[in-house]
Amino acid sequence: MIGFGPHLMVDGYEGSFEALASVEAVTNFLDTLPAEIGMTKIMPPYVFKYDGGEKPEDWGVSGFVIIAESHISIHTFPEKGYFSIDIFSCKEFNIPAALEIIKSFFGTDKLEIQTTSRGTEFPRDISLATTITSSQRNRLM
């Protein structure tokens, strides 16, 4: 793997109102997903309900879980059937399996999916990092 790691961004449409509106359901999703995709949860999920502020129809549930490999976050908008999920990891993971879990949990196949590689110049090998640092220092002298 080159760089720091993959970042999966999912926008879901026509999701289950019940799942999107439930702090308990979103907590369960964030609590179980890391193990299902080979990640290591290092804290319980933090999940809360937002009242929508000036736009009551924008109420929803947001949450995140910190994993040893980075993080997973979600924001839901039950009245609109919409949710967004980010899975960012410093190691490869089974993206198709993650997508199937998301589809099943939120009851929709209507997903907009984007993936990117984060930190493409991140030096995974410490000897490579030392070489880069030494080269940069020599140029400054």
For the annotated catalytic residues, the residue numbers are 70, 75, 90
Phi, psi dihedral angles at 77 (to 5 degrees) = -135, 80
Phi, psi dihedral angles at 21 (to 5 degrees) = -90, -10
Give the integer Cα–Cα distance in Å for 125 and 94: 23
SS3 content of the chain, % helix, strand, coil (to 5): 35, 35, 30
Evaluate whether 93 touches 4 at the Cβ level (below 8 Å): no
